[in-house]
Amino acid sequence: MSRVSVSKSKVRSAARNASLERQTQRFLELRRGLEQIDYFCKGTVLKRMMKCGKAQCACASDATKRHGPYFELTYKANGKTVNVKLSPEAAPLYRAAAQQYRKLKTLINRLDKLSKTILRHQAKLAESMRQD
Ligand SMILES: [Zn+2]
């Protein structure tokens, strides 16, 4: 009876090790993705067409005659929305950087999840080696 339970626990621990090995490989793979991240920037680039406010200007009555486009970067800092004006030249740079930021966040979330799984495995492994 006790031999059966020992072998079962060995099988379980072998499966755990194989799974840990896979998770570790996946972690290293994802971590390499961090090196692919280019300059990044939190936020979203908005493109706006504006009314100038002059009553006699065409923009006042015709939405297609509004001025612009004007670009701005918007993001939250300390719970407040921050808007930063961008030149038309800067806009694509920041748009690409914002995309990199989202990519980085996704990557970090995955690494975080995977790390927690691996840490749980490692803790179990360490606990199984405890000598009372
Ligand atoms: Zn106008």
Q: State in Å: Cα 72 to ligand 1 middle.
A: 19
The whole-number pLDDT of residue 10 equals: 75
Whether omega before 69 lies within 30 degrees of 0, making that bond cis, reads yes
**60-77 tens-digit pLDDT:** 999 999 999 999 999 999
Q: What is the pTM of this model?
A: 0.77
Residue ranges, the chain, pLDDT below 50: none
Q: State in Å: Cα 78 to ligand 1 middle.
A: 34
Structure tokens at 88: 């038309």
The whole-number pLDDT of residue 6 equals: 60
Q: State in Å: Cα 60 to ligand 1 middle.
A: 6
The CA distance from 25 to 31, in Å, is 10
The whole-number pLDDT of residue 3 equals: 56
Q: State in Å: Cα 70 to ligand 1 middle.
A: 13
Buried b (16+ CB within 10 A) or exposed e, 17-54: eeebeebeeebeebeeeeeeeeeebebebeeeeeeeee
CB-CB contact of 40 with 100 (8 Å): yes
Q: State in Å: Cα 7 to ligand 1 middle.
A: 81
The whole-number pLDDT of residue 130 equals: 87
The whole-number pLDDT of residue 125 equals: 86
Q: State in Å: Cα 50 to ligand 1 middle.
A: 8
Q: State in Å: Cα 55 to ligand 1 middle.
A: 8
